[in-house]
Chains A and B, each alone.
Chain A
């Protein structure tokens, strides 16, 4: 097989990609065959993206792409150009405080080894965005795309429900269910418009291999 003249634009094995990750614009040169998961882990040091099976079964590499959960091992990094990617590192603007969802997972013992936890936390953020209460069965169904080999899931379900109560309270006293508020650190999640994740000095401040990182 020989490539023809008009395909020369596709000849290169690497591409410059620009995308937004955790609220900041990132530009890197990447191999066209690199998965998004490897890009986030190896180039940006976002090692919360856990690689279990690398063929879309375990769900531990789940990230939010434009707010929707996707398996980052089943995407190429070049496919994320122009998109917004969110990993669990974005959840807490203040690195000394947990996000309410993370608090809930800690309180309910919704994690044991922690391998599936970043994915579970991101998925929880996604499903709780509607502000609705949910039954055990509903949560069980909604998290079924991510495998956990420790907890037996029940504590994760409790954590999701607890996180929902925390988020509905917004830390502002009491909610309709009489749940006491408080203990909610930074309930506001870093959105695309904020530059809440600007701790460039942090280890995961995208100080990976050569590239340019622009502040949003």
Chain B
């Protein structure tokens, strides 16, 4: 239960980190918060020739508001997202999602970019990124490119980065003030991986019907799922309990997770519908509260 031998590199600039990544490619792994990689190193499930520690790259640790975009550096700690008022004001969903990531001891070290790059389908930040139409900024030897979150997650624990690329930031569109956000997760125990989780951002029109809806679901297939069928069923319709339940039922078809040691596929399907229904209901309630308070 000790890490294997590796060449330890701790660059202090993005450029040097990228240079190392391009030089060593598949022989290297990037160490950000370490909350997923360190267990794999300790258990010898990962055995990189080179470990590129990006914790000294201060350029990756910035949060900047750029008009209607909130850009969060890949090295920002998850616990910072939880408490940063600028984040809460710009993208309320993030503050709701982050407390579900592991335990606080993990979030004090775990990073935003690390969680996205790790691409765990049950993880909270990937689900939020897909729900919010975030853009993931990736840098390699050829320069920077921006990848929509929906294209970034390619499969089970697989992102679209080339061997010479690393995640440097994630750009979230600022959530319109007149909307409600909510996140619901079901796990066997506080801090465990989600059996199913759902994020929802909803806005209402003057009649109180659904004007727009974004719904994302985690833990039900190889990547986070954007529940387009659910959204389509909601938009333009009422917020009555039956309407939400009918729309939520559409998520069942997106559940591809088979039986595993945590849950059967049938149970996960049932759970997915339930968390989606609850997330939408809570988001609608939050949106209605915003309307009442006239903000």
Which residues of A are in contact with B by a Cβ distance under 8 Å? 1, 3-4, 7, 10-11, 13, 15, 32-33, 35, 38, 54-56, 59, 62, 65, 68-71, 73-76, 78-79, 123, 141-142, 144-146
Contacts and interface: CB of A to CB of B under 8 A. Distances in A.
| Majority secondary structure of chain A interface residues (helix, strand, loop or mixed) | mixed
B92 to A, nearest CB: 21
A62 B103 CA distance: 12
Contacts of B38: 35, 55-56, 73-76
Contact of B108 (A15, A35, A69): A69
A140 to B, nearest CB: 8
A142 B20 CA distance: 39
Contact of B39 (A10, A56, A145): A56
B220 to A, nearest CB: 24
Interface residues of B, number: 36
Contacts of B55: 79
Interface stretch (B3-11, B68-76, B168-176, B264-272): B3-11
Contacts of B256: none
21 contacts: A1-B50, A13-B5, A33-B2, A33-B4, A33-B6, A35-B3, A55-B39, A55-B43, A56-B38, A70-B109, A71-B35, A74-B34, A74-B38, A74-B39, A75-B109, A76-B31, A76-B38, A78-B10, A141-B190, A144-B191, A145-B102
Contacts of A144: 103, 189-191
B53 interface: yes
Nearest to B55: A79
Contacts of A35: 2-3, 38, 42
Contacts of A4: 23
Given A35-B3, A144-B191, A59 B9 contact: no
B35 to A, nearest CB: 6
Contacts, number: 95
Contact of A54 (B1, B4, B53): B1
Contacts of A69: 104-105, 108
Contacts of B27: 1
A70 B33 CA distance: 11
B44 to A, nearest CB: 11
Contacts of B79: 68
A15 B31 CA distance: 17
Contacts of A79: 34, 53, 55
A38 B53 CA distance: 19
Given A33-B2, A35-B42, A145-B103, A56 B7 contact: no
A56 B106 contact: yes
A194 to B, nearest CB: 24
Given A71-B105, A74-B109, A144-B191, A56 B5 contact: no
Nearest to A57: B39
Contacts of A68: 79, 108
B151 interface: no
With most chain A CB atoms within 10 A of its CB, the pick from B31, B103, B190 is B103
A56 B104 CA distance: 12
B7 A59 contact: no
Interface in B6-49: 6-10, 20, 23-24, 27, 31, 34-35, 38-39, 42-43, 49
